[in-house]
Amino acid sequence: MKNMKIGENYSIHCYKHDGSVHRSWDEAMLLDVNKDFLVFGNKKARVNNSDGRIWYTKEPAIIFYYKDKLYNIITQFKDNGIYYYCNIASPTVLEGKVIKYIDYDLDLRVFSDGAFKILDRNEYNYHKKLMNYPKEINYIIKEELSSLIEMKKSGEFPFNRKAIEDYYELFKKIKKTGK
């Protein structure tokens, strides 16, 4: 992490518990290196799905990858406000210019009005059986989901509009000037 430079681009590789590639993004620009997390930004990133589909993200995003938490958080700047997409996932690993994590299916979606919804319970239950998730993982996943909900309810970082807007302004500045 010492050699990371603000403004550098990285790719993102998301895996499933069995080691198979689930999805990858071609770019994420480094915005901040914190002792607990890394912050990236992207806009119109190319996404490759394991089923062969290729698509591009529609809106700018600020992404938080945590070193010791079982989640990552994507903030999306949509026309009607800021949304959060929280992936229950392994802690992030960085290998060269590649961000890697294991996706554990459950997601928390937070809408611009503050309402939220837990997504993909059926996918989680299916993969839990198919890939034989260890009991410890199941316990931790549920604890982290509860923790995310509490963070959202209390407005704890990064569920803080000002912090997200500041990172977005930084992203736009670096995109424009290169620094």
Confidence category of residue 1, pLDDT binned at 50, 70, 90: low
Mean pLDDT of all residues belonging to the chain: 94
Strand partners, 99: 12, 94
| pLDDT, tens digit, 9 for 90 and up, residues 141-169 | 999 999 999 999 999 999 999 999 999 99
Min mean pLDDT across 13-22, 62-71, 169-178 is at: 169-178
Predicted local distance difference test score (pLDDT) of residue 108: 96
| pLDDT, tens digit, 9 for 90 and up, residues 40-74 | 999 999 999 999 999 999 999 999 999 999 999 99
Distances 130 to 13, 17, 51, 138 between C-alpha atoms, Å? 21, 10, 18, 14
pTM > 0.85? yes
| pLDDT, tens digit, 9 for 90 and up, residues 80-109 | 999 999 999 999 999 999 999 999 999 999
Which residue out of 23, 53, 109, 121 is catalytically annotated? 23
Structure-token pair, residue 5: 């430079």
Torsion of the alpha carbons at 46, 47, 48 and 49, rounded to the nearest 10: -160
* Statement: residue 2 has pLDDT above 70: no
Verify whether residue 53 is a known catalytic residue.
Answer: no
